[in-house]
Structure 1
Amino acid sequence: MDSPGDPEGPRPPGGDGPPGGAMETSRRLSREQIFVLISAASINLGSMMCYSILGPFFPKEAEKKGASNTVIGTIFGCYALFDFLASLVFGKYLVHIGAKFMFVAGMFVSGAVTVLFGLLDQVPEGPVFIAMCFLLRITDAISFEAAITASSSIVAKAFPNNVATVLGSLETFSGLGLVLGPPLGGFLYQSFGYEVPFIFLGCIVLLMVPLNMCILPNYESDKGKHSFWKLITLPKVAFLSFVITSFSSCFGFLDPTLSLFVLEKFNLPAGYVGLVFLGLALSYAISSPLVGLLSDKMPHLRKWLLVFGNLTLAGCYMLLGPAPFLHIKSQLWLLVLILVINGISAGIGLIPTFPEILSCAHENGFEEGLSTLGLVSGLFGAMWSVGAFVGPTLGGFLYEKIGFEWAAALQGLWALTSGLAMGLFYLLEHLRRRRRSELQNILGTEEEQTALLSDER
């Protein structure tokens, strides 16, 4: 893992020696690393499918049980809120609880809750149904975050020299889960009714639990002395947290708005709306591992990938409508193209954030080990949850008040602001390091001259 004084982040073993040995080491995965990859991929795929399965049919079923649109929106929104709270708690106490136990317990509870969601049609309508929806949704959010926080920490521990590459590759499974969840859930719902989609997916997740109990390694670590507050008050980490929230809100903005806009603007059948989302999910899933690989091989590019990804994302949201001041006619092919570029730019800007935060933490005296990894994983999850809550909430409000075109443009301003702020920070950081280096050279030269003069005397 990178040393505290290494601004470039994780480097391959072998230091400055020839790259051949490092390449050979990175190509050979140990048995333990393969098991970690299988476990992390299983939770990413399973949890994202369980998360996204609700969209196609749950709102209609909830309406039948007496839930209003506002209540249904709150049922969806509370997930992100409790995700945020759980991230902070689990990130802080990861070492106390144990990464493996947190992972397995989180996966077990998430699978069980998904099965129980399938039994909600047996619950009496009205307040009892609504209360059970909130209870299960909140429990699912907490258990999901426990598993994901543990998973990210274990992955970073198992792959200290390739954090971005592995996390980027695992985002492929998250993307697949988001893509496969809604159509699979819709098909099972149409064919077998409300219960089967939840019971089917919940049982698959539960079957993964004994597998992960057997194959997942158990990493031990000392309890750290640092806190979330110290981590997030580091200026660089604060800016990176703003970037994570920006990307998350941009993704979340599309959930309540894009399908309505497509149906209204292009009169597409409801079945084709999911295909529009497919461009975004697939482009993100494909670009993420490539960006992760580039980020690990050339860590000095991370900062510019972050800035470029943010600025490109801002441009995408300006063109998504497109914004009325651009005077560009809205066309379906343009919308799909922008969504594809949107997914790629999200991968470019988001994947380097985790290793950048980790690198910054080590530079500022945070110890290497699971305690710091837990803090970083928890912080990442918390900031993502903030955006996941603000994005759809604010997006739905703006869509209703000013329409999709202007709402998307305003969302793009968030990405533009975070990109410019991050770029300015990196520029000032570069100038500060350059000035410090020049000062050290001057001091070194003066010391040499003083030593020479004393020798001559």
Structure 2
Amino acid sequence: MDAPGDPEGSRAPGGDDPTESAREAPNRLSREQIFALISAASINLGSMMYYSILGPFFPKEAEKKGASNTVIGMIFGCYALFELLASLLFGKYLVHIGAKFMFVAGMFVSGGVTVLFGVLDQVPEGPIYIALCFLVRIIDAISFAAAITASSSILTKTFPNNVATVLGSLEIFSGLGLVLGPPLGGFLYQSFGYEVPFISLGCIILLMVPLNMYILPNYESDPSEHSFWKLISLPKVALISFVINSLSACFGFLDPTLSLFVLKKFNLPAGYVGLVFLGLALSYAISSPLFGLLSDKMPHLRKWFLVFGNLITAGCYMLLGPVPVLPIKSQLWLLVLVLVINGVSAGMSVIPTFPEILSCAYENGFEEGLSTLALVSGLFGAMWSVGAFVGPTLGGLLYEKIGFEWAAAVQGLWALTSGLVMGLFYLLEYSRRRRRSKLQNTLGTEEERSTLLPDENQP
């Protein structure tokens, strides 16, 4: 690993020489690296707890206030829509605003509106309640987009040669947030009512603000001439973006639908519904560091992770209901097992996407520095948000129209399509490289012959 203060890595993150990187890596982390990890861990934990805390009880509360399943799905989905727009904006202007300021300000605003979300049960039911739900979610989405974009950029800058390993390791905290959010939120809701889960979490996030103001490294960089359009117009980046869409849509689909399905199908109380989410979150948190390490040490495996991770995810969603055409009865143990496998396949697919995009950007002339890292971070956040908007919105609608079993199968088709398309692209890429290699060998042989022939004709 390069020193955190070094703006240029010795090679592109996620490059193809992991042995050199491992040889150069120090045995101990520097102070800046440790502080960057702590800051990123705090935002990963807080954001995922807030993201997941709604699942066990908010759909039920929103129904009481007159919101339909479609509207509930849109309340979940609007978060992702505005996170999409904010990620693109903040990714473009991060170097102008300042990564540290963007991180701290985003965290402060997010903590405040999380507390506000906890008092929405005092609002009259109907349009006013629904409108305020949308407003608070939108502000929270913008603030968290600022913090996450800044966090990813700082991390990638601090660990230029171990991007996937670091991001994968930090998914432990994302997974921990997903693990703690549903059961903790469900039990606090069951014991103390609607307000306590949000006020408690909001206060925890606000307490993290002064800590991060003190410890977070501050990096500066010159603005880049490149744009999101140039980045996403690269074919490989565009297809990886589609993969990110499908994976985030699969996660988002479960938010407004799974708790309602479990409540209806298995008659579990709200507190225990949160425990069902543990299978997905825990397996994702445990598997992500492993796939991150493998992605950095053996970059050639990334393509296989992307393809097979999507195909396994597609199979999981076919079995989640399961889809009625299969002769399998819906059972709670089977649902939890499928969620566990889905968590592993999600880690397999998600973790390699960031270093793959970054490597592709460097290969196509993007300069190494904070500006490019901000573009990649913003693009990743934006593409994740596209799926996170479509997943719950379409999921809520399909749940109403065709039921959970068929809705999950439709969602699985998205992951199946992205996996097959990505696999086809890698096959074509491999074929092109082989043809190019053969052509270069042929030209080299002809040049050698042309240089030898005059000598052979001399007496």
TM-score scaled by structure 2?
A: 0.91
Q: Please tell me the residue identity of whatever aligns with 1:292.
A: G
Partner of 2:297: 297
Partner of 1:88: 88
Task: Give the conservation status (yes or no) of the 8 Å contact 2:56–2:271.
Answer: no
* CA shift for structure 1 position 403: 2.4
Distance 2:145 2:360 in 1: 23
Moved more, 419-428 or 397-406: 397-406
1:226 alignment partner, SS class: coil
In structure 2, do the counterparts of structure 1 residues 9 and 39 end up closer, same or farther at CA, with 3 Å as the change threshold? same
* CA shift for structure 1 position 163: 0.5
Distance 2:193 2:221 in 1: 47
* CA shift for structure 1 position 331: 2.5
Distance 1:271 1:321 in 2: 21
TM-score scaled by structure 1?
A: 0.92
Partner of 2:267: 267
1:384 alignment partner, SS class: helix
Q: Please tell me the residue identity of whatever aligns with 2:80.
A: A
* CA shift for structure 1 position 118: 3.1
Task: Give the conservation status (yes or no) of the 8 Å contact 1:3–1:363.
Answer: no
In structure 2, do the counterparts of structure 1 residues 341 and 57 end up closer, same or farther at CA, with 3 Å as the change threshold? closer
Partner of 2:431: 431
2:277 alignment partner, SS class: helix
Question: RMSD of the TM alignment (CA)?
Answer: 2.2
Partner of 1:222: 222
* CA shift for structure 1 position 3: 4.4
Partner of 1:391: 391
Partner of 1:323: 323
Distance 1:371 1:455 in 2: 54
In structure 2, do the counterparts of structure 1 residues 39 and 349 end up closer, same or farther at CA, with 3 Å as the change threshold? same
Query: What CA deviation, in whole Å up to 9, does each residue of 1:70-101 have, x standing for no partner?
Result: 54443332111101111111111111111111
In structure 2, do the counterparts of structure 1 residues 10 and 372 end up closer, same or farther at CA, with 3 Å as the change threshold? farther
1:403 alignment partner, SS class: helix
Aligned residues: 449
Distance 2:301 2:399 in 1: 36
Distance 2:231 2:67 in 1: 41
In structure 2, do the counterparts of structure 1 residues 32 and 443 end up closer, same or farther at CA, with 3 Å as the change threshold? same
Task: Give the conservation status (yes or no) of the 8 Å contact 1:284–1:344.
Answer: yes
In structure 2, do the counterparts of structure 1 residues 185 and 67 end up closer, same or farther at CA, with 3 Å as the change threshold? same
Partner of 1:205: 205
Task: Give the conservation status (yes or no) of the 8 Å contact 2:73–2:396.
Answer: no
Distance 1:414 1:72 in 2: 22
Within-5 A mapping of 1:143-182: 143-182=143-182
Task: Give the conservation status (yes or no) of the 8 Å contact 1:307–1:419.
Answer: yes
Query: What CA deviation, in whole Å up to 9, does each residue of 1:115-136 have, x standing for no partner?
Result: 2333445556655544433322
Moved more, 198-207 or 124-133: 124-133
Distance 1:395 1:51 in 2: 16
Query: What CA deviation, in whole Å up to 9, does each residue of 1:281-320 have, x standing for no partner?
Result: 1001110111101111101110011111011111111222
Within-5 A mapping of 1:82-161: 82-121=82-121, 127-161=127-161
Partner of 1:382: 382
Task: Give the conservation status (yes or no) of the 8 Å contact 1:10–1:161.
Answer: no
Within-5 A mapping of 1:232-311: 232-311=232-311
Within-5 A mapping of 1:72-83: 72-83=72-83
Partner of 1:339: 339
* CA shift for structure 1 position 384: 0.8
In structure 2, do the counterparts of structure 1 residues 431 and 418 end up closer, same or farther at CA, with 3 Å as the change threshold? same
Distance 1:413 1:360 in 2: 27
Moved more, 415-424 or 271-280: 271-280
Distance 2:364 2:324 in 1: 46
Distance 1:331 1:64 in 2: 28
Distance 2:346 2:241 in 1: 15
1:14 alignment partner, SS class: helix
* CA shift for structure 1 position 2: 6.8
* CA shift for structure 1 position 422: 0.5
Distance 1:64 1:392 in 2: 19
Distance 1:453 1:237 in 2: 46
* CA shift for structure 1 position 362: 0.5
Distance 2:323 2:194 in 1: 40
Distance 1:189 1:449 in 2: 80
Q: Please tell me the residue identity of whatever aligns with 1:231.
A: L
Within-5 A mapping of 1:28-43: 28-43=28-43
In structure 2, do the counterparts of structure 1 residues 83 and 337 end up closer, same or farther at CA, with 3 Å as the change threshold? same
* CA shift for structure 1 position 200: 2.1
Distance 1:179 1:326 in 2: 30
